[in-house]
Amino acid sequence: MAGLTNGSSSRAYALTFEIDPPSSVRPGVAFTLPIVVAVRPVGAASNNPLVASISLQDGTGARSSTRLTGTLTSSVRSQTGNASSGYASFRPLRIASPGRYRLRVMLAVDTYSGTTTMEFVDSRVIEVHADAPASQGPTAVQISRLQRLVPENIDISAGDITRWQQI
């Protein structure tokens, strides 16, 4: 649940990584686990459904020209469907080139007057290099969190968890 940088001084939402990105991956190889971010209102939050997007920053937090691929946009979902609090899930994510990167998750709300970015959170640094493990087996803490997320309507199943445990 590392988030090194949070955006906005007048926070309406708290964003935290439930499932962090791996610390190292191979270029072009999909992360084994989805990246999952919890979205919780802080004070007076919007009742409108929220959308989260994920992008790639360099190791210092500046926008990267390296390509991130996978599902880069996610509705914030909960057991009741699209929601103003819940979880956003991103997978299968791949970083194309070697280097040091961070993932930035930005939260936005759509209203009749347009889209407004509400918050963002940056991950820890991810090292992308050819000698990284081909896959990242889940830890016991990640398994526990993933099991808790199954009923949250974010396309994580018990079968997925079993498959990830066998890696």
- State the total domains in the chain: 1
What is the distance between the alpha carbons of residues 57 and 27, in angstroms, rounded to a whole number?
A: 15
Specify whether the CB–CB gap between 99 and 140 falls below 8 A.
no
Residue 3: its pLDDT value, please? Answer: 45
Name the residue with tokens 């991956």. 25
Q: CATH code at 130? A: 2.60.40.3960
Residue 32: its pLDDT value, please? Answer: 96
What is the distance between the alpha carbons of residues 66 and 39, in angstroms, rounded to a whole number?
A: 27
Residue 111: its pLDDT value, please? Answer: 73
**Considering the entire predicted model, what is its pTM?**
0.89
Residue 49: its pLDDT value, please? Answer: 79
Domain that holds residue 159: 5-165
